[in-house]
Structure formats: C-alpha cells, structure tokens
C-alpha cells in the first residue's frame, strides 16, 4: 500500500515537472505595456473639469514623467496626447 502511494507521488511529480509553466501562470488581462517614447518628447495628459491638462515629458529610459507645467486644452496650444498618457 505504501509503495503504491510513493509510486503515485513520484508519477505526479514527474508529470508536473514536464507540464508547461504557462499553464500555471495567470495572464494579466487589460494591462497593456506603455509604448516607449523618444527622449525629449512632450505630451499632454487628460484634461480636468476646468480644461487644464498636465504636461508629461519623456525621460532617458523611455517612460513618460509628469512635469510641473499645465496647459489649457481649449487654447489648442497643448502638445498632442500620446495614446493613454
């Protein structure tokens, strides 16, 4: 009886070791990676209820970072937004 249990555990361990790891991993849904930007590029974020939008700047690592500047979106002088910025 004990031999059957040990044999069953060994077979299960071997079967699990050959199983692909993707089947056990959870896939992130709805978490799209942000596209890398070019250093120095500026973009406006989503405007608030009064029409002011934050300005974001691209860093050396390809990520957008907020700056201390704001832009009035009604003036048509704001930098274009970069898809989801």
- Tokens read off for 42: 């500026």
In a domain, 24, yes or no: yes
- pLDDT per residue over 21-58, tens digit each? 554 455 555 556 667 788 889 998 888 999 999 999 99
**Residue ranges making up the domain that contains 50:** 2-75
In a domain, 31, yes or no: yes
In a domain, 83, yes or no: no
In a domain, 68, yes or no: yes
Integer angstrom CA distances of residue 60 from 29, 42, 54, 63, 72: 28, 13, 20, 8, 27
In a domain, 82, yes or no: no
Number of compact structural domains in the chain: 1
- pLDDT per residue over 7-22, tens digit each? 667 666 655 565 555 5
In a domain, 36, yes or no: yes
């Amino acid at each position: 009886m004990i031999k059957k249990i040990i044999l069953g555990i060994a077979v299960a361990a071997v079967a699990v070791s050959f199983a692909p790891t993707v089947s056990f991993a959870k896939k992130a849904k709805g978490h799209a990676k942000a596209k890398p930007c070019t250093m120095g590029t500026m973009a406006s974020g989503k405007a608030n209820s009064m029409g002011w939008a934050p300005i974001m700047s691209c860093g050396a690592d390809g990520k957008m970072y907020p700056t201390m500047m704001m832009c009035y979106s009604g003036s048509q002088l704001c930098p274009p937004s970069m898809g989801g910025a």
